[in-house]
Chains A and B, each alone.
Chain A
Amino acid sequence: MAWTKKVMRVNLTDGTIGEEPLNMEWARQYLGQRGLASKYLFEEIDPECDALGADNKLIYTTGPLTGTMASTGGRYSVVTKSPLTGTIACSNSGGFLGPEMKFAGWDMIIFEGKSPKPVYLYVRDGHAELVDASEIWGKSVWAADRILHTRHQDPQLRIACVGRSAEAGCLYSAIINDLHRAAGRSGVGTVMASKNLKALAVRGTRGLGGIKDPMRFIRATEEGKKVLREHAVTGQGLPTYGTQVLMNVINESGALPTRNMREVQFEGARNISGEAMHEPRKSDNRPNLTTNAACFACTIACGRIATIDQNHFAIENKPEYWRNSGGLEYEAAWAMGTDTGIDDLDAATYANFVCNEDGMDPITFGATVAAAMELYEEGVITTRETGGVEYKFGSAKALVHAVEAVAGGTGFGKDLGLGSKRLCEKYGRPELSMTVKSQEFPAYDPRGIQGMGLAYATSNRGACHLRGYTVASEILGIPEKTDPLVSKDKAGLVKAFQDATAVFDSSGLCLFTSFAWTLDNVAPQIDSACEGDWSAEKLVEVGERIWNLEREFNRLAGITGKGDTLPPRLLKEAAQTGPAKDKVAELDDMLPEYYELRGWSTDGNVSDETKQRLGL
Chain B
Amino acid sequence: MLKALQLEPEKCTGCLQCEMACSYENEGVFNPAKSRIKVFNFHDEGRFAPYTCTQCDEAWCLYACPVEAIAINAGTGAKEVLGDTCVGCKVCTIACPFGTVNYNSSTGKVIKCDLCGGDPWCAKACPTGAITYVDADGTGMERMRAWARQGMPPAGASVNAPAEKEIPNYESA
Contacts and interface: CB of A to CB of B under 8 A. Distances in A.
Interface of A: 67-69, 71, 96, 99, 103, 156, 179, 203-209, 214-215, 218-219, 222-223, 225-226, 228-229, 235-236, 239-240, 277-278, 280, 285-287, 289-301, 305-307, 323-325
Contact of A222 (B34, B128, B158, B168): B168
Given A69-B125, A287-B157, A293-B13, A239 B162 contact: yes
A235 to B, nearest CB: 6
A105 to B, nearest CB: 11
B25 to A, nearest CB: 10
B103 interface: no
Nearest to B105: A205
Interface stretch (B44-52, B71-79, B91-99, B140-148): B44-52
Given A69-B21, A235-B162, A294 B13 contact: yes
Contacts of A277: 157
B117 to A, nearest CB: 17
Contact of B30 (A208, A294, A323): A208
Interface residues of B, number: 42
Contact of A207 (B16, B31, B44, B170): B31
A239 B161 CA distance: 5
B20 interface: yes
B152 interface: no
Given A239-B160, A297-B16, A299-B17, A69 B45 contact: no
Contacts of B15: 294-299, 301
B33 A291 contact: no
Contacts of A287: 156-157
Contact of A208 (B31, B157, B167): B31
Interface of B: 13-17, 20-21, 23-24, 27-34, 43-48, 106, 125, 127-128, 153-154, 156-164, 167-168, 170-171
Given A68-B20, A290-B47, 10 more contacts: A207-B29, A209-B29, A218-B24, A219-B170, A289-B157, A293-B13, A293-B14, A297-B17, A324-B43, A324-B45
A324 B27 CA distance: 35
A240 B13 contact: no
Contacts of A222: 167-168, 170
Considering residues A226, A240, A294, which has the most beta carbons from chain B within 10 angstroms of its beta carbon?
A294
Contacts of B167: 219, 222-223, 226
Name the 9 nearest CB pairs between A and B, nearest first: A207-B31, A229-B162, A207-B29, A294-B15, A290-B46, A324-B46, A209-B29, A299-B127, A205-B33
19 contacts: A69-B17, A71-B127, A96-B16, A204-B33, A207-B33, A222-B170, A225-B127, A229-B162, A229-B163, A236-B161, A280-B156, A291-B157, A291-B158, A292-B159, A292-B160, A294-B14, A296-B15, A299-B127, A301-B160
A304 to B, nearest CB: 9
B20 A69 contact: yes
A293 B160 CA distance: 8
A207 B171 contact: no
A323 B44 contact: yes
A226 B160 CA distance: 16
Contacts of A225: 127, 162
